[in-house]
Amino acid sequence: MIPSSKNLLHHVSTALIKNHDLVVAEELRSKNMLQNHALAMSITDVGWRTLLAMLSYKADLYGRKFLTINPRNTTQTCSDCGHVLTDKNKLTLADRKWTCPSCGTFHVRDHNAAKNILAKGLATL
Ligand SMILES: [Zn+2]
């Protein structure tokens, strides 16, 4: 990893931990995140593991809680009603916004996934 990306990971992890009592992340980075997340372009697989390790020790350092959760269906689940998109209507990498076919809620993809990730984390507490 080049030094500047390590500095970025330090900056991001410190900001996340210092500004939040609880941080929840997917334990494995999904292909979706690899290709679409705003940070993904500068974070390799090694970088993701490094970021998770930084979040973990910084959470201890600052008295915060850091959890990782299974990434299964975090993108494909409606955070409002729990409907899981099936093969037929699964989101592709290009789908940034979608409407739940079950409850009609409009979602911004990453925001919806973030809500699901947080809910999964909270459920483990
Ligand atoms: Zn729904």
- Centre of ligand 1 from the C-alpha of residue 35, in Å: 25
Separation of CA 89 from chain center: 22
Is it the case that residue 98 has pLDDT exceeding 70? yes
- Centre of ligand 1 from the C-alpha of residue 111, in Å: 14
Question: Please, what is the average pLDDT of the chain?
Answer: 88
Separation of CA 87 from chain center: 22
Domain of residue 73, residue span: 3-123
For the stretch 2-55, pLDDT in tens is 667 889 999 999 999 999 999 999 886 545 555 555 555 455 667 788 899 999
- Centre of ligand 1 from the C-alpha of residue 103, in Å: 4
For the chain, first and last CA: distance in Å? 34
Nearest of 88, 82, 87, 119 to residue 103 by alpha carbon = 82
pLDDT value of position 5? 82
- Centre of ligand 1 from the C-alpha of residue 4, in Å: 41
For residues 31 and 18, what is the distance between their CA atoms, to the nearest angstrom?
A: 28
- Centre of ligand 1 from the C-alpha of residue 78, in Å: 5
Single-letter amino acid, residue 101: P
124 contacts: CB under 8 Å, gap ≥ 6: 67, 69
Q: How many domains does the chain have?
A: 1
Q: Is the sign of the CA dihedral 32, 40, 123, 70 positive or negative?
A: positive
Separation of CA 52 from chain center: 11
Confidence of residue 73 (pLDDT cuts 50, 70, 90): very high
